[in-house]
Structure 1
Amino acid sequence: MEIRQLRYFLAIADAGTFTAAAERLRISQPGLSASIRALEHRLGTALLVRGRKRVELTEAGRELYVGARRALAALEATESQIRCGPGVTKSTLPVGAIPSFAGLDLAALISRFTAENPHVDVDVTGGMPLDLFAKLTDRTIELAFVTMPPQAPPGIRLTPLSTYPMVLACPLGHRLAGRRSVELAALRDETFVDFPADLVARQVTDQAFQAAGISRNVRVTCNEIGSLLELVAHGLGIAIVPRPLAIATRVPTALVPLDNASLVCTVAVATPAHGVATDAAQAMWNLISNTALPVVHR
């Protein structure tokens, strides 16, 4: 496999269409398509399902996506270290992120940052939003990638990056599993598993049901998406979860779109309200500002 082919494949997976990827890469769409066909031929399997509006990754495509990200990140890190050379003082940029990066391609962002800033290492600390906000306040970290709460905590600035729909997750044999979409009223008598009450995804769901005048029976709570969907798969209840996180877990559940525009999950970057303090943090912020523009994904 050629590095160029892997970059093209990742661009298509991230952009969702050949057209958008070709524009981003500044190459012709026929040339991009030919490169991906050659890659699929070499591997002996399809990597993409070419739909009318979007492309989706096959099982082999998902495996290649993870491997390609790791390989290119390792290559770029090696290149950065070589360019850095001996005798150059290095620094470390501490950042925070919620588990699974919440649908944001943080690995790609960090890879590009380290390539452009070879003298800066990045230390990623995982945690829940409230913990990360506290670390921002005491300067343990300088930026954090979080799900966006209804209101910013005191002293914290939140800049939205991407918005994703929440979807219904239910067991494969559930009565709603085959629906094209579902309204909240259809869930009135269901039992739920959900995130704890202090997590943003739970708060968004609670507010939507309260606005619809529907009470819920939440049997089990869990703060980790993979474990939450395992509970769903074993029939303990249904759940409402951010779509990209649910897809990433690969837990065998049915994901059904919801007919409610308020049920969305927004990924944001959090910084101290008065701005970042170091040159490294400013460089990361500049990269985010230039490349991670607000996008709504449906």
Structure 2
Amino acid sequence: MNLESHPAITLRQIWHFVVAAETGTMSEAARRLHMAPSAISMSIAELERIIGAELCIKRKSKGLTLTSTGRAVFLQARELLDLADEIASLSKGDRPNVRGPLTVGCYMTLGPTIIPPMLSDFAAQCPHVDVDFVEGYHEDLQERLLDGSIDAAFLYDMNISPAVRTAPLLTADPYILLPASHPLQAAAEISLKDIAAEPLIFFDAPPISTRILEMYRESDITPHVLHRSRSYATVRSLVATGRGVAVLFQRPRLEAPYEELRVALKPLAQPRSAIRQQATVCLAWPRSTRLNARAQAWVDVATERFSANPPDVV
């Protein structure tokens, strides 16, 4: 290679372009990189000048739209940044020297429990990685993994695409949510048969909703679904007003004790058969993509964090 004639493209220009393309606007890229939008714009303009082609079209109402050349450059640029991270990781050999942007996803209802401790632990070990996160539901997050808009995601390990690799982190047990005045509120545990005739406030977000229906079917019970919601807070509020009961796989920290919120949370009694009731929370990433140093560090920190100190509520 003739280094003297090599284009003067810098990793910083590549980095600015990738972050802008991933976030969709100059202002959001500037926020993530702690720079002025004009500096990001100038960096990308210089990259376009060196390449000799327009990489993105800037529209105030629609943000950035990549050109055909921009899409091709974006894919190669991500690979280049990943390779640079791997080289830095090999030469430095420790997490404090890993740097750059990282975008992770989290299944909506797991966010309050998993994201805060992960951000704290990860920042302590990888202080130079700029982490952003998005919350979503099962199919949406898997699509984002496969289109490259997020690097890794916390999901339930059910109905996972064959194109996605997973690492198990912890298990979640099912619970029954009752109105505080319910006759069974003093019971140590409750079976599905105990609430078979009760109206069900259905948490309607796969794969948890699918698992709940499977549990009813395996217990030979047809649930009477009165209301459906994808919001844990809405489900809890409907139960609190006596509209029905709910089956959930998590016990998120609340703004007040369950008693003050007029609900009672009870363990679901294990059936005598070998029906699997637990759900596994995992970290997922694309099978076809080799993790960059930032994403690998995120996976490692999550595995260490939750295997050694699982959340007291999930």
TM class by shorter-chain length? 0.5 to 0.7
Q: For residues 107-256 of structure 1, what are the structure 2 equivalents within 5 Å?
A: 107-149=116-158, 151-196=159-204, 198-245=205-252, 247-248=253-254, 250=256, 251-256=261-266
Runs (5+) with no aligned partner, structure 2: 1-96
Question: How far apart are the structure 2 equivalents of 1:242 and 1:291?
Answer: 21
Matched-pair contact (CA < 8 Å) for 2:169–2:280: yes
Partner amino acid, structure 1, of 2:131: V
Q: How many residues matched?
A: 208
Larger of the two Rg values belongs to structure: 2
String of CA shifts for 1:27-61, please: whole Å, max 9, x gaps. xxxxxxxxxxxxxxxxxxxxxxxxxxxxxxxxxxx
Give the secondary structure class of the aligned counterpart of 2:133.
strand
Matched-pair contact (CA < 8 Å) for 1:168–1:258: yes
Runs (5+) with no aligned partner, structure 1: 1-87
Cα distance change on mapping 1:237 and 1:116 into 2, 3 Å:
same
Matched-pair contact (CA < 8 Å) for 1:170–1:177: yes
Matched-pair contact (CA < 8 Å) for 1:160–1:269: yes
Give the secondary structure class of the aligned counterpart of 2:121.
helix
Matched-pair contact (CA < 8 Å) for 2:103–2:150: yes
Matched-pair contact (CA < 8 Å) for 2:111–2:135: no
Cα distance change on mapping 1:280 and 1:89 into 2, 3 Å:
closer
Give the secondary structure class of the aligned counterpart of 1:244.
coil
Question: How far apart are the structure 2 equivalents of 1:249 and 1:131?
Answer: 28
Matched-pair contact (CA < 8 Å) for 1:194–1:202: yes
Give, in angstroms, the shift of residue 249 of structure 1: 5.9
Give, in angstroms, the shift of residue 260 of structure 1: 2.4
Cα distance change on mapping 1:267 and 1:179 into 2, 3 Å:
same
Matched-pair contact (CA < 8 Å) for 2:106–2:155: yes
Give the secondary structure class of the aligned counterpart of 1:176.
coil
Question: How far apart are the structure 2 equivalents of 1:163 and 1:154?
Answer: 21
Question: How far apart are the structure 2 equivalents of 1:238 and 1:280?
Answer: 42
Give, in angstroms, the shift of residue 205 of structure 1: 1.2
Give the secondary structure class of the aligned counterpart of 1:174.
coil
Give, in angstroms, the shift of residue 296 of structure 1: 10
1:258 paired residue number: 268
Give, in angstroms, the shift of residue 182 of structure 1: 1.5
Partner amino acid, structure 2, of 1:227: T
Matched-pair contact (CA < 8 Å) for 1:162–1:297: no
Partner amino acid, structure 1, of 2:299: W
String of CA shifts for 1:91-139, please: whole Å, max 9, x gaps. 2100001224357433222222222222210001111121110000001
Cα RMSD (Å): 2.5
Cα distance change on mapping 1:89 and 1:238 into 2, 3 Å:
closer
Cα distance change on mapping 1:207 and 1:287 into 2, 3 Å:
same
Question: How far apart are the structure 1 equivalents of 2:290 and 2:123?
Answer: 18
Q: How much identity, in percent, do the aligned residues show?
A: 24
Segment of structure 1 superposing worse, 287-296 or 152-161: 287-296
Give the secondary structure class of the aligned counterpart of 2:284.
strand
Matched-pair contact (CA < 8 Å) for 1:104–1:162: no
String of CA shifts for 1:183-225, please: whole Å, max 9, x gaps. 22112211101122x5222111111110111101101111111
Give the secondary structure class of the aligned counterpart of 2:296.
helix
String of CA shifts for 1:123-178, please: whole Å, max 9, x gaps. 011111211100000010000012221x3213011222111211110111112111
String of CA shifts for 1:224-273, please: whole Å, max 9, x gaps. 1111100110111100112423x536433011211126333321111112
